[in-house]
Amino acid sequence: MLTLGNGPLSMHPPQRVNYRLDGPAHKLMMTPFPRRVRAILGGETVLDTRDGQLLYESALLPQLYVPEVDIRLDLMHPTDHTTHCPFKGDASYWTIRVGDRAADNAVWGYPQPNPAATWLAGYRAFYWDRLDAWFDEDEEVFGHLRDPYTRVDVVASSRHIRVLAGDRVIVETSAPKVLSETGLPNRYYLPRDAVGADLLERSDTSMYCPYKGRSTYWSLRVGDELIPDVAWSYEQPLRDAGDVAGHLCFLHDRLVIEADGSPPA
């Protein structure tokens, strides 16, 4: 990912390069999103754009900005709320009203952006979770748009993986799947049948990843103790993560995870 970890627009970019990026430590970059995006509230399409722009900003996830000509401005009502960003300027806010539905301060923009970000004028951004549904072309998407600069790869491995709770080996396998996701450490997904069925209990916790799908969490039974949310799985992963179906990824401060006898890099 460009803006997080050690990405080129992050606060800690890679040092082994043969180029120099001049400018502030906090960087902004606006670039076109390559597909049509729509969003709906109360049955009304409040934005429909083929010219959306992703704003990349150091230490933040990319944010979609929509040209005002592609927004139902008749549904937007200005409010007194304002915020200040030292890099972009003073933001104005709008509430969306559709019938008896109101999404308060759900939209913001920079009518008079800072000189270094004049290209923000004429665009507005939306809080994702304050609208009912978002569509990337005709596919409904959740969480946020998938960043074109982020990818997920899953490959088979023969690394010897052990997961321990204290001195007890919870799972041991030499057939993990390695999931690599831009800007994040590798994660080892282990075959579910390598874990004793009596050790894991399904948790109520669930999260959504725009790149992998909706996760199911699992708690670990060790004697009389239940350690919550020690592992997660994707029961119906999205396309790029399809090969981790039927696998579990363990991560918890009560566990030790070894890859070929050492902690994973």
Model confidence, pTM:
0.87
**pLDDT given at position 231:** 97
The Cβ of residue 9 has, within 10 Å, a number of other Cβ atoms equal to 22
- Both 124 and 164 in one domain: the answer is no
Please, what's the largest Cα pairwise distance for the chain? 64
Mean pLDDT along residues 180-187: 92
In a domain, 6, yes or no: no
Of 141, 161, 194, the last residue of a domain is: 141
The reply to whether 236 and 133 lie within a common domain is: no
Can you tell me the mean pLDDT for 152-180?
96
Distant-in-sequence, close-in-space partners of 72: CB < 8 Å, separation ≥ 6: 44, 45, 46, 47
Identify the CATH number of the domain in which residue 202 sits. Answer: 2.170.150.40
Q: Containing domain of residue 175, as a range?
A: 152-259
pLDDT interval class at 14 (50, 70, 90):
confident
Counted domains in the chain: 2
Q: Using one digit for the tens of pLDDT, what is the confidence trace for 93-140?
A: 999 999 999 999 999 999 999 999 999 999 999 999 999 999 999 999
Q: Is 202 found in the same domain as 104?
A: no
Residue 23, pLDDT score: 79
- Summarised one tens digit per residue, pLDDT across range 49-92 is 999 999 999 989 999 999 999 999 999 999 999 999 999 999 99
pLDDT value at position 116? 92
- Please check whether residue 126 is in contact with residue 39, taking contact to mean a CB–CB distance below 8 angstroms: yes
Within this chain, do residues 115 and 193 fall inside the same structural domain, yes or no? no
pLDDT of 265 strictly over 70:
no
Residues 32 and 113 in one domain: yes
